[in-house]
């Protein structure tokens, strides 16, 4: 986690999220790094699902299953936002979840996400459009 780059547009997401008072939950597929995430982007997560603790790594589906089990949230209200087509968009599409792909590199999408953005700018509007 310490070597991961953070992007300036995270502030956009945090401002959007905090501004409308939504709870922030994150489906996280790496080692337990909640405190590092907080230090890097300035927000604490209400839920962190750790791949090594559930014995499943993306693109496996177990992350989404554990999220649903732990939160009781209806998958009909989920939208998966990610930058990896292989690790995130493809399995979320297989699970019939709406997807938003952050395509920072200008790649060609396969599979096709529901929404494609170049940065997190516009994410709030895109989420509202998919969950409305």
Number of domains in the chain: 1
Q: Mean pLDDT, 10 residues at a time, over the chain (132 residues)? A: 44 42 43 55 70 87 90 86 91 93 93 93 87 75
pLDDT at 39: 59
Picking from 61, 60, 57, 81, the residue whose alpha carbon sits closest to that of residue 69 is 61
Range of the domain at 73: 10-131
pLDDT at 71: 87
Domain-located, residue 36:
yes
pLDDT at 100: 93
- What CATH code is carried by the domain that includes residue 30? 3.40.50.1000
CA atoms of 132 and 127, how far apart (whole Å): 8
Domain-located, residue 50:
yes
Residue 39 is given by DSSP the state H
Domain-located, residue 94:
yes
Domain-located, residue 1:
no
pLDDT at 95: 93
pLDDT at 131: 82
Domain-located, residue 109:
yes
Q: Return the structure tokens found at 21.
A: 């008072």
Domain-located, residue 2:
no
């Amino acid at each position: 986690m310490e070597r991961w780059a953070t992007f300036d547009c995270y502030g956009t997401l945090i401002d959007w999220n905090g501004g409308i008072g939504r709870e922030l939950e994150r489906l996280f597929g790496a080692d337990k790094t909640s405190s590092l995430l907080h230090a890097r982007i300035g927000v604490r997560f209400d839920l962190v699902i750790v791949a090594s603790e559930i014995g499943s790594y993306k693109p496996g589906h177990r992350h989404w299953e554990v999220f649903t089990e732990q939160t009781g949230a209806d998958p009909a209200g989920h939208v998966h936002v990610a930058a990896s087509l292989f690790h995130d968009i493809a399995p979320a599409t297989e699970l019939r979840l709406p997807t938003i792909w952050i395509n920072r590199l200008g790649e060609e999408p396969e599979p096709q996400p529901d929404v494609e953005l170049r940065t997190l700018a516009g994410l709030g509007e895109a989420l509202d459009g998919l969950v409305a």
